[in-house]
């Protein structure tokens, strides 16, 4: 059937009429009227003779009608054209653009975290995530086994997953793959499978720096530690650009440069942490915990002069690069906590240095004032203060040297509680250090008017209030820096001037007392650092448990080197050391060796000149306390050479 026939097929009546026409006389032009003819034609058979029309046809009217219809049609077309080109232009342009313009995301990686020497501690590396469009992939089910092999997945499980989500357009197949591995999978050319570039945070030092840095979640947003505290600073802002793409989805042209948003890459952060000291501290902490079968512990190493934190380690730790399948889920938070900043301990005898500072400031006591600690116990109100052994009549220095609780309690009792509280508060106890670490604990120091006399006694020797290891390091750094308290910081160059909390004279007197602690017959001979004078204080405290104490101990040592010109302070807290005798979990036994180990390495790494070369002999036990020079140290004979080469080896 031709097109013409098809057209005419719809008008059988007209055809019948046309066939019938020749037989009749053609009616006068204009006499034909459609209506009756058609009616007749439809009626079938011969049409009755058409009656000639009466009256003239109004040609003008007919023309007007036709013109009007044409004009209407033309108007309709014009209206439509205006609608398309003008009124709805934006809509259609937009629709068109959607079909060939695409917004490309420009990635902005998160900033790198460096240690103080420029070693990377946290790096964002590009990875690829493989995803699939199940609605497309399900139509190519025969290729699923091949895909499963490439992804190292079970073919049946994958197939089931795809079928279940057949009405969805997006499903992750594998996240955070090596970009090369992802490209290999894409090369298989399986329909509906594509990749999406992403970044993954990588921590080259793993569990050693885990607590400080924290971690980021799967979307590269900081969720713990400094990653969280500095998230705004580190995070990059991805940009975008609109491009015109071709048939093969390649970007061929920029669509509109003005619409492009440039990416804002994250800024790099340089920490005050020294990676090597951090490692050293971690190693020593691990060793100490292993040797003494302890449960957990922390070490903080700080720069005395500006409050920069050089190392902060804790045990137990976790690996920020993995999901830690080895750690039971209920313990994971324990492993992730940065105990050095968030957990508090009762400092024990370490607090005596603060009590003595208050005593010296009150003017009632001098370093050589005497205090009678006989017979090694002291009944004060309803409380009995015990010493480890009876050390008899002591000087104030001796109270520190022998760590006498009775001596400290008697000295403390001679002061007003406001004087003591003020000193402890000035040393930063009872409030956060201002380091900026998320979740840092302020410790626990009750206000003075709540102290009873017994509480004042216990606080004198370090019970009844609690502090974080970071606060301890900070407080001792203040003594080491001549009475100037600094705000600890994790950022290189972020240290402050500090504020003076005690007189330099008092700080120096306390420092001299602390030097006597590290001596063969004192409480911490094992803290000695070869070639250097060191100063510090041990502490041992019961761990508070359900309102009482149980037989588990915190072993604490806080000290600094070189004592003649302090540079580094370290606070070491090791908890739960096991032993049958008190000696086996005392600070001087458990924590002091770690101090020595960390400081030896740290001083060497930082090239701190030794101040005690002469007093140390190879393999010896450390400086002889009786040979301690008066402050300042005796000048060397030759101002340029301290110590002589004694071995003949060139």
Partner 1 sequence: MATLRGTARVIGYCILLALLAGVIGCAFGVVYTRQESRRLFTEYNELTKERDHLNYEFGRLELERATKAEINGIEKAARESLGMISPNSANTVVIRR
Q: Which stretch in 185-193, 376-384, 476-484, 608-616 sits in contact with partner 1 by CB under 8 A?
A: 608-616
Contact with partner 1 (CB under 8 A) among 613, 624, 629, 633:
613
Q: What are phi and psi of 176, to 5 degrees?
A: 55, 55
Query: Please, what sign has the CA dihedral across residues 451, 457, 460, 463?
Result: negative
Q: Which stretch in 134-142, 440-448, 561-569, 611-619 sits in contact with partner 1 by CB under 8 A?
A: 611-619
Q: Which stretch in 16-24, 487-495, 555-563, 601-609 sits in contact with partner 1 by CB under 8 A?
A: 601-609
Contact with partner 1 (CB under 8 A) among 452, 493, 609, 621:
609
What is the gyration radius of the CA atoms in the chain, in angstroms? Answer: 44
Told to check if 649 binds partner 1 by CB under 8 A, we report: yes
Query: Please, what sign has the CA dihedral across residues 559, 564, 566, 568?
Result: negative
Q: What are phi and psi of 406, to 5 degrees?
A: -60, -45
- Applying CB under 8 A, the site for partner 1 has a residue count of 43
Q: Which stretch in 72-80, 294-302, 359-367, 605-613 sits in contact with partner 1 by CB under 8 A?
A: 605-613
Contact with partner 1 (CB under 8 A) among 254, 322, 390, 578:
254
CA 174 distance to own-chain centroid: 24
CB of residue 268 vs partner 1: minimum separation in angstroms? 11
Which residues 178-197 are close enough to bind partner 1 by CB under 8 A? none
Closer residue to partner 1 (CB): 150 or 208: 208
CB of residue 619 vs partner 1: minimum separation in angstroms? 8
CB 603 within 8 A of CB 301: no
CB of residue 625 vs partner 1: minimum separation in angstroms? 17
Which residues 539-598 are close enough to bind partner 1 by CB under 8 A? none
Told to check if 530 binds partner 1 by CB under 8 A, we report: yes
Closer residue to partner 1 (CB): 106 or 295: 106
The structure tokens 């120091």 sit at 445
Q: Which stretch in 162-170, 355-363, 554-562, 606-614 sits in contact with partner 1 by CB under 8 A?
A: 606-614
SS3 of residue 136 by DSSP: helix
Told to check if 204 binds partner 1 by CB under 8 A, we report: yes
- Specify which residues 114 forms β-bridges with: 120, 270
Measured CA to CA, the distance from residue 134 to residue 140 in angstroms comes to: 10
Q: Which stretch in 37-45, 112-120, 232-240, 369-377 sits in contact with partner 1 by CB under 8 A?
A: 112-120
Closer residue to partner 1 (CB): 61 or 250: 250
Contact with partner 1 (CB under 8 A) among 100, 614, 624, 633:
614
CA neighbor of 502 nearest in space, from 358, 628, 304, 332: 358
Closer residue to partner 1 (CB): 2 or 640: 640
CB of residue 198 vs partner 1: minimum separation in angstroms? 13
435 catalytic per annotation: no
Do strands 113-114 and 269-270 pair parallel, antiparallel, or not at all (unpaired)? parallel
CA neighbor of 575 nearest in space, from 546, 547, 598, 552: 552
Told to check if 251 binds partner 1 by CB under 8 A, we report: yes
x/- map, 272-291, partner 1, by CB under 8 A: ---xx--xx--x--------
**Where are any strands of DSSP class E within 328-418?**
370-372, 377-380, 383-386, 393-395
CB 328 within 8 A of CB 439: no
Tokens of 191: 């329909």
Q: Which stretch in 185-193, 395-403, 466-474, 633-641 sits in contact with partner 1 by CB under 8 A?
A: 633-641
Told to check if 531 binds partner 1 by CB under 8 A, we report: yes
CB 531 within 8 A of CB 640: no
CA distances from 509 to 207, 360, 480, 514, 575 (A): 40, 9, 11, 9, 30
Contact with partner 1 (CB under 8 A) among 25, 52, 619, 630:
619
Catalytic hit among 349, 404, 541, 596? 349
Told to check if 123 binds partner 1 by CB under 8 A, we report: yes
Cβ-in-10-Å burial (0-12, 13-18, 19+) of 102 comes to middle
Closer residue to partner 1 (CB): 327 or 602: 602
Contact with partner 1 (CB under 8 A) among 77, 604, 621, 632:
604
Closer residue to partner 1 (CB): 78 or 641: 641
Question: Can the peptide bond before residue 509 be classed as cis, meaning omega within 30 degrees of 0?
Answer: no
Contact with partner 1 (CB under 8 A) among 119, 240, 369, 564:
119
Told to check if 26 binds partner 1 by CB under 8 A, we report: no
CB of residue 518 vs partner 1: minimum separation in angstroms? 17
CB 542 within 8 A of CB 549: yes
Told to check if 643 binds partner 1 by CB under 8 A, we report: yes
- Specify which residues 298 forms β-bridges with: 314, 573
SS3 of residue 589 by DSSP: helix
CA distances from 597 to 288, 292, 600, 615 (A): 10, 15, 5, 19
Measured CA to CA, the distance from residue 462 to residue 518 in angstroms comes to: 20
Closer residue to partner 1 (CB): 128 or 409: 128
Contact with partner 1 (CB under 8 A) among 112, 272, 435, 575:
112
Closer residue to partner 1 (CB): 153 or 605: 605
Closer residue to partner 1 (CB): 483 or 530: 530
Tokens of 303: 């720069």
Q: What's 46's DSSP letter?
A: S
CB of residue 246 vs partner 1: minimum separation in angstroms? 10
Half-sphere CA count of 423, side-chain side, radius 13 A: 27
CA neighbor of 123 nearest in space, from 202, 198, 199, 177: 202
CB of residue 315 vs partner 1: minimum separation in angstroms? 17
CA distances from 449 to 358, 389, 440, 445, 548 (A): 17, 33, 26, 12, 23
Q: What's 369's DSSP letter?
A: -
x/- map, 231-250, partner 1, by CB under 8 A: ------------x------x
Contact with partner 1 (CB under 8 A) among 82, 252, 259, 333:
252
Catalytic residues: 349
The contact set with partner 1 (CB under 8 A) reads 107, 112, 119-120, 123-126, 202, 204, 243, 250-254, 275-276, 279-280, 283, 530-531, 604-605, 609-610, 613-614, 616-619, 639-647, 649
């Amino acid at each position: 059937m031709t097109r013409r026939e098809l057209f005419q097929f719809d008008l059988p009546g007209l055809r019948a009429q046309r066939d019938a026409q020749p037989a009749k006389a053609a009616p006068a032009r204009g006499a034909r009227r459609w209506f009756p003819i058609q009616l007749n034609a439809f009626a079938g058979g011969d049409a009755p003779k058409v009656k000639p029309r009466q009256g003239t046809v109004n040609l003008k009217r007919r023309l007007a009608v036709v013109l009007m219809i044409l004009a209407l049609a033309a108007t309709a077309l014009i209206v439509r054209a205006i609608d398309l080109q003008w009124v709805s232009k934006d809509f259609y342009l937009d629709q068109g653009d959607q079909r060939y313009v695409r917004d490309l995301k420009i990635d902005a990686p998160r900033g790198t975290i460096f240690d103080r020497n420029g070693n990377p501690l946290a790096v964002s590396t590009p990875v690829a995530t493989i995803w699939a469009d199940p609605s497309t992939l399900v139509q190519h089910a025969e290729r699923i086994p091949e895909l499963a092999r490439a992804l190292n997945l079970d073919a049946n499980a994958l197939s089931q997953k795809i079928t279940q989500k057949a009405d969805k357009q997006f499903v992750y197949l594998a996240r955070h793959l090596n970009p090369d591995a992802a490209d290999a999978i894409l090369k298989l050319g399986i329909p509906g499978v594509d990749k999406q570039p992403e970044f993954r945070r990588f921590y080259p030092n793993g569990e050693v720096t885990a607590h400080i840095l924290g971690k980021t979640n799967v979307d590269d947003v900081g969720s713990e530690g400094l990653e969280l505290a500095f998230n705004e600073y580190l995070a990059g802002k991805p940009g975008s650009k609109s491009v015109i793409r071709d048939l093969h989805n390649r970007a061929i042209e920029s669509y509109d440069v003005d619409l492009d948003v440039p990416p804002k890459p994250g800024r790099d952060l340089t920490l005050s942490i020294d990676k090597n000291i951090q490692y050293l501290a971690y190693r020593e902490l691990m060793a100490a915990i292993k040797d003494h079968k302890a449960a957990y512990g922390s070490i903080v190493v700080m720069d005395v002069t500006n409050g920069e934190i050089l190392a902060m380690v804790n045990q137990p730790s976790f690996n920020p690069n993995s999901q830690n399948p080895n750690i039971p889920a209920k313990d994971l938070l324990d492993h992730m906590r940065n105990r050095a900043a968030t957990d508090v301990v009762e400092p024990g005898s370490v607090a005596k240095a603060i009590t003595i500072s208050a005593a010296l400031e009150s003017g009632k006591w001098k370093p050589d004032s005497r205090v009678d600690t006989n017979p090694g116990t002291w009944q004060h109100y309803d409380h009995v203060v015990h010493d480890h052994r009876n050390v008899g009549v002591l000087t104030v220095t001796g109270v520190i040297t022998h760590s006498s609780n009775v001596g400290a309690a008697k000295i403390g009792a001679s002061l007003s509680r406001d004087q003591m509280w003020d000193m402890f508060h000035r040393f930063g106890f009872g409030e956060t250090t201002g380091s900026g670490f998320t979740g840092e604990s302020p410790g626990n120091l009750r206000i003075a008017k709540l102290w009873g006399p017994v509480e004042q006694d216990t606080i004198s020797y370090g019970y009844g209030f609690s502090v974080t290891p970071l606060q301890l390091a900070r407080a001792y750094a203040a003594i080491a820096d001549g009475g100037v308290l600094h705000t600890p910081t994790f950022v290189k160059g972020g240290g402050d001037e500090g504020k003076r909390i005690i007189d330099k004279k008092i700080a120096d007197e306390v420092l001299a007392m602390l030097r006597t602690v590290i001596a063969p017959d004192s409480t911490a001979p094992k803290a000695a650092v070869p070639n250097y004078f060191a100063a510090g204080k041990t502490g041992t405290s019961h761990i508070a448990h359900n309102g009482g104490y149980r037989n588990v101990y915190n072993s604490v040592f806080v000290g600094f080197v070189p004592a003649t010109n302090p540079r580094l302070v370290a606070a070491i807290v090791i908890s739960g050391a096991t032993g049958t005798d008190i000696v086996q979990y005392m600070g001087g036994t458990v924590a002091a060796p770690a101090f020595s180990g960390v400081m030896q390495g740290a001083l060497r790494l930082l090239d701190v000149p030794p101040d005690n070369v002469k007093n140390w002999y190879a393999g010896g036990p450390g400086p002889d306390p009786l040979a301690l020079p008066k402050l300042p140290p005796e000048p060397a004979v030759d101002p340029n050479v301290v110590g002589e080469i004694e071995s003949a080896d060139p």
